């Protein structure tokens, strides 16, 4: 299988605090990989490094076999949702999509615009200013921005935030379909039940270190659910009880 996302011995510190320690992971074409961990485990820091938004203190990152830095050309083939949605508030949803697409010098419209807008389901609101959007509408617009590129790689930080159950299901089906078509999807999430339905593979981080990685079925194993397996792996319940 083709390796689409690869991180080798990634390390990142913020001041003296280590955020990610010696992390290696790969995501292959056709996989939906969930990046899991308690708050502060290093998930978002890892995703930022994978996208070139943060420079690792050690290790290296490759997307689609190419090295990644800030604004690297390979990012044209990557759909991104990171650190929540963000838009120019005084422009409409459509103008924002156009702006983010044409910023890289590409001609409007993008190849997957119609399908992405279908999923976003914003209707007439697409031509209203983003300033008036709800949290869920912003999230759906940002997902449309990530999907309209018809990306080979998707890196999505908490993609289901603010979505209602029907929207979460539609997103799950869309991501699964993209993976079937050969894309690699990396999602971070705290919604473990949802992740269990969506992901084929799991990477678990705790205190910036890799705790476990592998196919979903192997990791869930005898625990019966991803939630049980996750809490056992990270010792979160024990830590909470000790506090």
Residues that bind another protein in the complex, under the rule CB under 8 A: 14, 45, 48, 51-55, 70-76, 78, 80, 82-84, 86-91, 95, 99-104, 145
Closest CB 163 distance from another protein, rounded Å: 19
Residue 104 or 193 having the CB closest to another protein: 104
Alpha-carbon gap, residue 83 to 74, rounded angstroms: 20
- Kindly state the helix (H) or strand (E) to which residue 239 belongs, with its residue range: helix 236-242
Residue 70 or 177 having the CB closest to another protein: 70
Residue 37 or 52 having the CB closest to another protein: 52
Closest CB 197 distance from another protein, rounded Å: 27
What is residue 189's DSSP assignment? Answer: -
The answer to whether the beta carbons of residues 243 and 234 sit under 8 Å apart is no
**Cα–Cα distance list, 228 to 42, 192, 231, 234, 235 (Å):** 21, 10, 5, 10, 10
Closest CB 111 distance from another protein, rounded Å: 15
Residue 89 or 215 having the CB closest to another protein: 89
DSSP, collapsed to helix, strand or coil, labels residue 32 as strand
Closest CB 222 distance from another protein, rounded Å: 39
| Token digits of residue 142 | 């940002």
């Amino acid at each position: 299988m083709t390796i689409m996302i690869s991180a080798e011995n990634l390390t990142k510190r913020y001041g003296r605090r280590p955020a990610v320690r010696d992390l290696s992971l790969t995501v292959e074409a056709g996989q939906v990989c969930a990046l899991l961990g308690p708050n502060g485990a290093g998930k978002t820091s890892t995703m930022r490094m994978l996208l070139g938004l943060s420079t690792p203190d050690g290790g290296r990152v490759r997307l689609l076999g190419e090295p990644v830095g800030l604004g690297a050309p390979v990012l044209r083939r990557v759909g991104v949702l990171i650190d929540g949605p963000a838009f120019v508030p005084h422009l409409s949803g459509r103008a924002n999509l156009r702006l983010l697409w044409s910023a890289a010098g590409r001609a409007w419209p993008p190849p997957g615009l119609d399908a992405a807008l279908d999923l976003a389901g914003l209707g007439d609101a697409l031509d209203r200013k983003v300033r008036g959007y709800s949290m869920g509408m912003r999230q759906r617009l940002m997902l449309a921005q990530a999907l309209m590129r018809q990306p080979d790689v998707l890196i999505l930080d908490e993609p289901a935030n603010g979505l209602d159950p029907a929207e979460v299901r539609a997103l799950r089906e869309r991501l699964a379909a993209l993976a079937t078509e050969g894309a690699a999807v990396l999602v971070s999430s705290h919604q473990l039940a949802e992740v269990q339905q969506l992901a084929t593979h799991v990477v678990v981080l705790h205190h910036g270190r890799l705790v476990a990685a592998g196919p979903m079925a192997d990791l869930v194993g005898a625990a019966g659910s991803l939630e049980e397996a996750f809490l056992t792996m990270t010792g979160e319940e024990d830590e909470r009880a000790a506090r």
